[in-house]
C-alpha cells in the first residue's frame, strides 16, 4: 500500500508483518522501537548499580529482578523491530555499542547513590508507564503485543520505586534532605523525559499520522505532571524553583515554563555527544566484550551440530 492509504487505515494494531508497507513506515517504526529497546538496555545498566548500593538483601533481590526484566524487555523490543525487515537485532546492538544507537535522556546520567533509586524506579519508570500504556494501541502489531508484557512488569517497577521513596522519606531527617537534594537535581531531567515540545519534535507528527504514537510528547508530559506532582508532594518533596511550574485551578493543569529547561543539553544528549554519554555507552561496550566467549562458544556448538557426522 502507499503512504496515504496507510494513513487512512492506521489504527490500533492495524499492521503486521504480512502487510506490504511503504518504506517510510518501516523505517520510522524501526527507529522508534530501536530507541525504546536501547533505552531498556541502558536503563538496566543503571539499575545494576542500585543492586550494589541497596541497603538490604530484599532490596538487592528486587533490584536484580528489575534488571532482568529490563533486559528481557529489550529482547522483546529488538525482536519486534526485526519483524519490520529493516535491521537485525545484531545490527541494532552493534550500533548501540558503537555509540550510534540513541536512547532516553535520563539514562545518559550515571547514578552514584541509593538516593537516586526512586528517581529512576518511581519517577522515570512512572513516566515510562504513561508512555508505554499508550503504545498498546500502536499500529505495529508486534510492538503492541510486546507492550502487553512490558506494561505488566513496569507496573511492579513503579511500585518498587515508590516503596523505596516511602521508606526514605519516612526515615531520618538526613535521609529526607538527601532525597530532596537528589530530586532537585533529577527533576528537570525527568520533565524532559518525554522529549522536546511538539513544535520542536522531528518525528512526532508523522508517528501520529501513521498510528505509531497515539499521544503527543506534550500530552504525555502533561498527564505525568498532573499525576506525579501530587505524588511527590504526598511524600514530602518540594518542587525545585526551576523549571517553573504553576497550577492553574481553572483548567486543573500544571503549566510548565518550557524555556526554563536546558534544551541545549537535551539536544546534545540526543546526539550522544553529552560528556557523560561516552561513559554510559562504554559500559555497554565493555560488557559486550566481556561475554564474547559465550557467543563464540555458542556459535562453535551450533556449527558442530550442522557439520555432517562421518559414517562409521
Neighbouring C-alpha atoms within 13 Å toward the C-beta of 125: 29
pLDDT (0 to 100) of residue 309 = 58
Grid coordinates representing 115? Answer: 538516593
What's the rounded Cα separation, in Å, for the pair 288 and 303? 22
Q: Are 45 and 58 in contact (CB under 8 A)?
A: no
For 124, phi then psi, to 5°, come to -65, -45
CB–CB of 253/222 below 8 Å? yes
Q: DSSP letter string over 123-177?
A: IIHHHHHHHHHHGGG-SBHHHHHHHHHHHHHHHHHHHHHHHHHHHHHTS-HHHHH
| pTM for this entry | 0.90
Q: What is the model's pLDDT at position 92?
A: 96
Coil vs helix vs strand at 304:
helix
Task: Give how far Cα 232 sits from Cα of 122, 140, 155, 169, 189, Å.
Answer: 10, 35, 18, 10, 15
Determine the longest span between alpha carbons in the chain, in angstroms.
87
In the chain, the domains with their CATH numbers are: 3-306 (1.20.1260.10)
Cα–Cα distance between 104 and 120 in angstroms, integer? Answer: 12
Using left for φ > 0, alpha for ψ between -120 and 50, and beta otherwise, residue 252 falls in left
What is the mean pLDDT for each group of 10 consecutive residues in the chain (312 residues)? 94 96 97 97 91 95 96 97 96 92 92 96 96 96 96 95 98 98 98 93 90 95 96 97 94 94 94 81 76 86 75 49
CA-nearest of 43, 180, 179 to 114 is 179
Task: Determine the pLDDT at residue 299.
Answer: 87
Q: Within 13 Å of residue 213, how many CA atoms lie on the same side as its CB?
A: 23
Q: What are phi and psi of 274, to 5 degrees?
A: -65, 145
- pLDDT score recorded for residue 285: 75
pLDDT reported for residue 224:
97
The three cell numbers locating residue 118: 526512586
Residues 6+ apart with CB under 8 A from 36: 77
Record the cell numbers describing residue 244, joined without a space.
517553573
User: What is the per-residue pLDDT for 219?
Assistant: 95
Q: Residue 82 to residues 2, 37, 306: CA-CA distances in angstroms?
A: 21, 11, 25
> Using the 8-state DSSP alphabet, how is residue 311 labeled?
P
Amino acid at each position: 500500500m502507499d503512504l496515504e492509504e496507510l494513513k487512512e487505515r492506521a489504527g490500533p494494531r492495524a499492521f503486521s508483518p504480512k502487510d506490504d508497507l511503504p518504506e517510510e513506515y518501516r523505517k520510522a517504526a524501526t527507529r522508534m522501537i530501536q530507541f525504546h529497546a536501547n533505552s531498556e538496555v541502558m536503563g538496566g545498566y543503571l539499575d545494576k548499580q542500585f543492586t550494589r548500593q541497596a541497603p538490604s538483601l530484599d532490596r538487592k533481590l528486587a533490584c536484580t529482578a528489575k534488571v532482568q526484566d529490563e533486559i528481557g524487555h529489550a529482547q522483546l523490543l529488538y525482536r519486534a523491530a526485526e519483524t519490520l525487515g529493516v535491521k537485525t537485532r545484531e545490527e541494532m546492538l552493534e550500533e548501540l555499542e558503537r555509540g550510534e544507537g540513541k536512547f532516553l535522556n535520563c539514562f545518559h546520567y550515571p547514578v552514584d547513590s541509593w538516593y537516586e533509586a526512586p528517581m529512576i524506579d518511581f519517577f522515570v519508570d512512572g513516566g515510562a508507564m504513561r508512555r508505554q500504556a499508550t503504545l498498546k494501541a500502536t499500529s505495529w502489531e508486534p510492538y503492541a503485543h510486546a507492550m502487553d508484557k512490558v506494561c505488566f512488569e513496569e507496573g511492579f517497577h513503579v511500585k518498587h520505586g515508590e516503596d523505596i521513596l516511602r521508606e526514605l522519606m519516612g526515615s531520618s531527617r538526613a535521609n529526607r534532605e538527601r532525597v530532596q537534594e537528589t530530586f532537585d537535581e533529577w527533576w528537570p531531567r525527568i520533565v524532559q523525559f518525554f522529549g522536546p515540545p511538539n513544535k520542536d519534535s522531528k518525528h512526532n507528527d508523522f508517528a501520529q499520522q501513521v498510528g505509531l504514537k497515539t499521544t503527543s510528547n506534550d500530552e504525555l508530559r502533561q498527564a505525568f505532571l498532573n499525576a506525579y506532582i501530587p505524588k511527590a508532594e504526598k511524600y514530602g518533596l518540594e518542587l525545585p524553583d526551576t523549571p517553573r511550574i504553576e497550577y492553574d485551578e481553572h483548567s486543573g493543569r500544571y503549566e510548565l515554563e518550557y524555556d526554563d529547561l536546558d534544551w541545549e543539553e537535551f539536544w546534545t544528549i540526543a546526539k550522544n555527544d553529552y560528556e557523560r554519554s561516552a561513559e554510559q555507552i562504554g559500559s555497554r561496550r565493555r560488557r559486550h566484550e566481556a561475554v564474547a566467549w559465550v557467543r563464540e562458544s555458542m556459535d562453535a556448538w551450533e556449527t558442530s551440530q550442522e557439520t555432517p557426522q562421518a559414517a562409521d
